[in-house]
Amino acid sequence: MEQLFNIICEEGTMCGSMSLSGTQWFLIFTCIALIIAQLFPNLNSIARVSLTGAITSIGYCTMIWALSISKGRPNDVSYGIPVADRTGMTGFGNILNAIGIIMLAFRGHNLILEIQGTLPSDSKHPSRKSMWRGVMVSYMIIAMCLFPLAIVGFWAYGNKIPEEGILTAFTKFHGQDTSKYVIGLIYIWLTISCITSYQIYAMPAFDNLEFIYASSKKRRCPGWVRAGIRLFFGGVTFFVAVAFPFLGKLAPLIGGMAAVPLTFVYPCFMWISIRKPRPKGAMWSLNLGVGSIGIVLSLLLIVAAVWKLDDKGLNANFFRP
């Protein structure tokens, strides 16, 4: 949102002299997300929000890699890795970090929550087949977004890609010869995608808080209480975002402990526990093997995250987003 503002309000314009702090941008984002959250009572009602987020995600991913191809490669692009980064413990840590990035890119805990929460199921019409189709189609779309980004991004920018990612590289190398309206459209779609993602991640928390209220009061949750719960949750997320703006650097570590097991480990062992297949049979061995691989990958991601933090340090800028 800040980048979009900077694109629209160039120097010399009336709003060009204005500048907002990181805290103010966090507050604007939270307010927009909470206004939208008030419009949808539960997870089953946000299908249109999810569809909007999917369309915008496909849109900005496609625009980034397509524009990177059309604009061509910058001069002096190199595809080699410095010797210091590919030997010894540094090279080993970089390999683990790369594996972790791939795993986090294909994590599916939010996808599973949405599919389970929005597809109806009963004894006569179980949703197993619908869920399976939903998972397959969703991951096909995710792969269609991520693989072109990775391939084209490496071809176009090589080792010049900054830590912030390919969008930062595109604006850095091609921002001057690309229409600001095109770049602004990318940031608009990215912002919409993030706001819709907030709804999907937050809705299970809303549902759980409302369930706790309904269980304790023995009655349905009235509208004013629902609105208050969502405002409270939004306030908590805003406080955490402002108080710990460095959480993004801890994402691989947190993902290795939470998101990766939730995607690659728990479902396999839960299936074995619930379905109780024949020990050492094909499905039992498959789920045990995939779950075990998930545990190993999760441990590798944690080790890589700790290694990177130890190597580069952590700028714990509390309350200074």
Across the range 264-271, mean pLDDT stands at 88
Query: According to the model, what pLDDT value does residue 230 have?
Result: 93
The CA distances from residue 207 to 124, 201, 273, 308, in Å, are 26, 11, 27, 36
- Rounded Cα–Cα distance for residues 278 and 284 (Å): 7
Higher-confidence position of 93 and 35: 35
Instruction: Dump the DSSP string for 199-237.
Output: HHHHHHHHHHHHHHHHHHHTSPPPHHHHHHHHHHHHHHH
Query: According to the model, what pLDDT value does residue 233 have?
Result: 93
- Is residue 311's pLDDT more than 90? no
Query: According to the model, what pLDDT value does residue 155 have?
Result: 93
Reported as a single tens digit per residue, the pLDDT across 205-252 is 888 888 899 999 888 888 899 999 999 999 999 999 999 888 878 878
Reported as a single tens digit per residue, the pLDDT across 101-114 is 787 777 765 566 66
For residue 133, the surrounding DSSP H or E stretch is helix 128-157
Across the range 157-168, mean pLDDT stands at 86
Least confident window among 8-17, 61-70, 146-155: 8-17
Asked if 178 contacts 67 with a C-beta cutoff of 8 angstroms, the reply is: yes
Closest of 148, 163, 153, 150 to residue 77, by C-alpha = 153
- Is residue 17's pLDDT more than 80? no
Higher-confidence position of 41 and 17: 41
How high is the mean pLDDT of the chain? 85
Least confident window among 11-20, 44-53, 192-201, 248-257: 11-20
pLDDT confidence tier of residue 295, bands split at 50, 70 and 90? very high
The CA distances from residue 167 to 38, 68, 74, 305, in Å, are 31, 10, 15, 23
Token output for 288: 């045990």
- Rounded Cα–Cα distance for residues 110 and 259 (Å): 9
Across the range 72-100, mean pLDDT stands at 78
Query: According to the model, what pLDDT value does residue 118 have?
Result: 65
Across the range 84-111, mean pLDDT stands at 74
Neighbours of 156 (CB within 10 A): 24
Query: According to the model, what pLDDT value does residue 11 have?
Result: 61
Query: According to the model, what pLDDT value does residue 136 have?
Result: 84
b/e sequence 259-280, b meaning 16+ C-beta within 10 Å = bbbbbbbebbbebbeeeebeee
The proportion of the chain whose per-residue pLDDT surpasses 90, expressed as a percent, equals: 30
Reported as a single tens digit per residue, the pLDDT across 30-82 is 999 999 999 888 777 788 888 899 899 999 999 999 999 999 888 888 888 77
Neighbours of 296 (CB within 10 A): 11
Query: According to the model, what pLDDT value does residue 285 have?
Result: 93
Query: According to the model, what pLDDT value does residue 109 have?
Result: 59
Query: According to the model, what pLDDT value does residue 221 have?
Result: 86
